[in-house]
Structure 1
Amino acid sequence: MSASLTCTSLSFAWPDGTAVFEGLDASFGPGRTGLLGVNGAGKSTLLKLIAGQLTPSDGTVRVSGEVGRLPQNVTLDTRLRVDEVLGIAARRAALHAIEAGDAAEEHFETLGDDWDVEERALAALGELGLGHVGLDRTVGEVSGGESVLLRLASLLLRRPDVLLLDEPTNNLDVYARRRLYAAVASWPGVLVVVSHDRELLDLVDRIADLRSGRITWYGGNFSAYEEALAVEQEAAERMVRVAEADVRRQKRELTDAHVVLARRRRYGQKMYDTKREPRAVMKMRRRTAQESAGKYRVLHEEKLAEAKERLDDAVEAVRDDDEIRVDLPFTAVPPGREVLTLRDLELVHGIRARGGLDLRGPERVALIGRNGAGKTTLLRTIAGELDPVAGEAAAHVPLRFLPQRLDVLDDGLSVAENVARFAPGATGNRVRARLARFLFRGARADRPAGTLSGGERFRAALAALMLAEPAPQLLLLDEPTNNLDMASVRQLTSALESYEGALIVASHDMPFLDSVGVTRRLLLEEGELKEITTGVVGYPA
């Protein structure tokens, strides 16, 4: 029997009563499905419910076969060995014991028929470009991107019937993304992927669009989905215009009806006053006229109500997804002004960034390189979070650093309280007004940071950075598009286009780097910080 998963009447709410799903029905069959939706729509929550990591308040999840899930934020114990992450430590130890001459029965029971466990593990690592990572190394010796690939390698070894991937390209360099794409393209079972990576989404067979607690299905990949959605939205906007015209017409007809009824009342009263007919007949005529007038008025009022209902339905079909509106402070840096100086840096963890960098004026620098090259370490050193072992890293203007892990937030504090920490001089009203522009309105601003989705957490961290005092004239962004839906990526791009300060962005998202108009590209590779003007493999100029 082929693998499948089915959600029936699925309901789930957070402990504070916030409903995520109410009666959701969905079925995922063999093949690759891209699960889309704006930040906070419940994509990650749905994957956790399917994987059994959350319990629905009502409804059922039925899965035929084993489920494997790659979470959005992979956090591994840095003390674990690679073979422990891959789930083969016990079998590998049993194999080594047998090879050393220990014929104890428990070793054979542990190993079973998996005599090639090491070969398969090394092959899985090799497929993902981790051939250099030995099975005895610890997680603390690999980069964040490599830890994501390690977790994926463990899933490839298990070969679950249903594979759930939550933003799998986060933190992956261009080379690692290519290997992930290949793994996804060749996956034989059920695969559900949440992602904002267009190239990855163009590998799927269908799109599941999660919106307002319901899923709408679209055949084909992301490009086909965009085309279908554009046609739908054009038709929906046309229906809104038709419905608006109908409402205007019904309002006019209702107004005309009131005029007609007023005339009838005046005529009836005049006839009654002149007593041209017997009193009983006049009373009967007036009563009949009132009944007729009432029906006439009710008829037009019902038509207007129906027209308004059709308009509401039409408006609801038009997408008006909220997007973050980043209100960047005035942070202009004059051309030629000295912003940052780097000289012959030697960083912690043995990373070197030989050579120098002078950043002047409102330059935009893209910092690129493989996972583990030291991009995050370099940014943290520039931000003053790490001291260089040797060399110089001097910022000459106020700067702010938005880290990849978004750990600037205190999970125990509310969103508003977190933002207030960075701007102690700001009033509560000012903090909340700014948060509203980042879609934290009303009670949402009081939610604990620890309950936020990845995209919501990004918005909260970005709001804290933007409201901080003094305002930054140098922004350091580490993989800023991770965990953002496509609408938010577009809005972030638009905001950065209008930013007048200096910018350093570490990212593997080449379309995003192109969209923010980078003026220089720096490649951190083999301990050297090199400016590139021509493309290198995987990193176009």
Structure 2
Amino acid sequence: MVRVAESDLRKQKRELADAQVVLARRRRYGQKMYDTKREPRAVMKLRARTAQQSAGKYRIMHEEKLAEAKERLDDAAEAVRDDDEIRVDLPYTAVPPGRTVLTLRDLVPAYGARVTGGLDVHGPERIALVGRNGAGKTTLLRTVAGELEPVAGEATAHVPLRFLPQRLDVLDGELSVAENVARYAPGATNNLIRARLARFLFRGARADQRAATLSGGERFRAALAALMLAEPAPQLLMLDEPTNNLDMASVRQLTSALEAYEGALIVAAHDLPFLESLGITRWLLLEEGELRETTPEAVG
């Protein structure tokens, strides 16, 4: 695919060079006709204007073909660089140390584990939420995100919060990647959205691809981009089993994206090596209906 695109780019470069030779030849012929005054002056001026307009269209046509060939090459090269790292700056996600970003008080979710007493999350803590399947991790995160009403107690976010669920339903499958991001950042210009998406490895035509046609890894990356580039910037980000169904390249991309995130982070996961790679500062365990502090050694 890359070789085909490179061949097409060389072809378009040759055709543009040939076109420039043709145009130069035409200009010399026109100047010769004008110098020898073989036709009336008015006729020669009209002919010169017409030739100039035609030459401009001819040149623009070849320049556009060359630009399209370059974009196809970029897309082809990107297609074989699926293990590229995400490199993005997210300064607006920063939270001052010690600032309370989330308060839980005697929280009783609709089902699953409860939070007895109080729990505060401060910026920029990185919290691992662990526990066996069915312990209630997803229910707790959905309750904090406001998707589920608690039976009792309080869950209050004091900063902009975003939640990325396992099912990735934050994306509209009928919209393009760029259009999905625009839904979360309505004040951002199209050029700014595309520039930011390029850092999430959606470059050129890839940003125009419908979400429904993306691979699993691409869909996760698009969902992550939509939430991390949202306005206002999320200063508390919650992820539910983010590495499920991701290949190694996608996990590396997720890790590099989260390295740039400066807000508070809560990640529910079973993948201990992945959690440790995030620089987790606090471990919370859901067990026997209660949420309590733990250590990575106890989890392992």
TM-score by length of 1: 0.39
Structure ranking higher in helix proportion: 2
Partner of residue 535, structure 1: 297
Cα gap change, 1:334 to 1:426, in 2 (>3 Å): same
Q: Does the Cα contact within 8 Å between 1:355 and 1:528 map onto a contact in 2?
A: no
Alpha-carbon distance in structure 2 between the residues aligned to 1:350 and 1:493: 29
| Partner residue of 1:474 out of 227, 230, 236 | 236
Partners of 1:328 and 1:481 lie apart in 2 by 22
For the 8 Å contact 2:240–2:268, the answer to whether it is kept is yes
Query: Structure 1: how far apart are the matches of 2:276 and 2:196?
Result: 28
Match of 1:340 in 2: 102
The equivalent of 2:90 in structure 1 is 329
User: What is the RMSD computed on CA atoms of the aligned residues?
Assistant: 2.2
1:452/1:491 CA distance change after superposition, 3 Å: closer
The residue aligned with 2:41 is none
- When Rg is computed on C-alpha atoms for both structures, the one with the higher figure is 1
Task: Indicate the residue corresponding to 1:368 in structure 2.
Answer: 130
User: Secondary structure of 1:334's partner?
Assistant: coil
Partner of 1:448: 210
Change (3 A) 1:324 1:420: farther
Give the aligned partner of residue 195 of structure 2.
433
C-alpha change, 1:484 and 1:472, in structure 2 (3 Å) is same
- Following superposition, which runs of at least 4 residues in structure 1 exceed 4 angstroms of deviation? 319-322
Q: Quick one: structure 1 residues 504 and 327, their matched pair in 2 at CA, closer, same or farther if it must change by over 3 Å? A: same
Taking structure 1 as reference, are residues 502 and 436 closer, same or farther at Cα in structure 2, changes over 3 Å only? same
- Residues of 1 paired with 2:185 and 2:152: CA distance? 33
Q: Is the 8 A contact 2:113 2:289 kept in 1?
A: yes
Measure, in 1, the Cα distance between the counterparts of 2:110 and 2:176: 34
Provide the rounded CA distance (Å) in 1 between the counterparts of 2:211 and 2:189: 20
Amino acid at match of 1:447: Q
Alignment of 1:459 with 2:221, yes or no, is yes
Within-5 A mapping of 1:168-179:
none
Secondary structure at the aligned position of 2:111 is classed as: helix
Unaligned runs of 5+ in 2: 4-76
DSSP 3-state at the match of 1:535: helix
Residue 132 of structure 2 aligns to a residue in which SS? Answer: coil
Map of 1:24-423 to 2, 5 A cutoff? 321-330=82-91, 331-349=93-111, 351-423=113-185
- Structure 2 residue aligned with 1:486, among 230, 248, 251? 248
1:409 to 1:466, Cα distance in 2 relative to 1, 3 A: same
C-alpha distance in 1 between matches for 2:133 and 2:112: 15
SS at match of 1:391: strand
**AA matched with 1:354:** T
Would you say the 8 A contact 1:365–1:518 is kept in 2? yes
Post-superposition shift, 1:534? Answer: 6.5
Taking the aligned partners of 1:482 and 1:534, their CA distance within structure 2 comes to: 20
Q: Distance in 2 between matches of 1:448 and 1:333?
A: 34
- State the Cα distance separating 1:441 from its structure 2 match: 2.0
Equivalent position SS for 2:228: helix
* Distance in structure 1 (CA, Å) of the matches to 2:123 and 2:199: 28
Per-residue CA deviation, residues 272-318 of structure 1 (Å, 9 max, x unaligned), is xxxxxxxxxxxxxxxxxxxxxxxxxxxxxxxxxxxxxxxxxxxx9xx
Report the Cα distance in structure 2 between the residues aligned to 1:441 and 1:387, rounded to whole angstroms.
Answer: 39
| Deviation for aligned residue 1:467 | 1.5
Distance in 2 (alpha carbons) for counterparts of 1:518 and 1:528: 21
In 2, Cα distance between equivalents of 1:495 and 1:448: 22
Give the structure 2 partner of residue 506 of structure 1. 268
**Is contact 1:366-1:513 (8 Å) kept?**
yes
Aligned residues: 223
Q: Which amino acid is 2:88 matched to?
A: D
Amino acid at match of 1:373: A
CA distance 1:398–1:328, change in 2 (3 Å): farther
Change (3 A) 1:352 1:424: same
Question: Could you tell me how far 1:329 is from its partner in structure 2?
Answer: 1.5
User: Structure 2 CA distance, aligned partners of 1:443 and 1:519?
Assistant: 39
The CA distance in 1 between the partners of 2:116 and 2:146, in whole Å, is 18
Contact kept, 8 Å, 1:353 with 1:524, in 2: the verdict is no
Matched-pair contact (CA < 8 Å) for 2:112–2:135: no
Q: String of CA shifts for 1:514-538, please: whole Å, max 9, x gaps.
A: 11111111001121001013734xx
Compare relative contact order (CA 8 Å, sep 6+) and give the higher one, 1 or 2: 2
> Is the partner of 1:377 in helix, strand or coil?
helix
Query: 1:159 matched to which residue of 2?
Result: none
Report the equivalent of 2:20.
none
1:217-255 CA-partner distances (Å, limit 9, x unpaired): xxxxxxxxxxxxxxxxxxxxxxxxxxxxxxxxxxxxxxx
1:411 Cα deviation from its structure 2 partner = 1.1
State the distance in 1 between where 2:224 and 2:82 align. Answer: 19
1:494 to 1:450, Cα distance in 2 relative to 1, 3 A: closer
**Deviation at 1:492?**
2.5
Partner secondary structure for residue 492 of structure 1: helix
Residues 532, 409 of structure 1: alpha-carbon distance in 2 compared, 3 angstrom cutoff? same
The one-letter code sitting in structure 2 at the alignment partner of 1:428 is N
Question: How far off is 1:326 after superposition?
Answer: 4.4
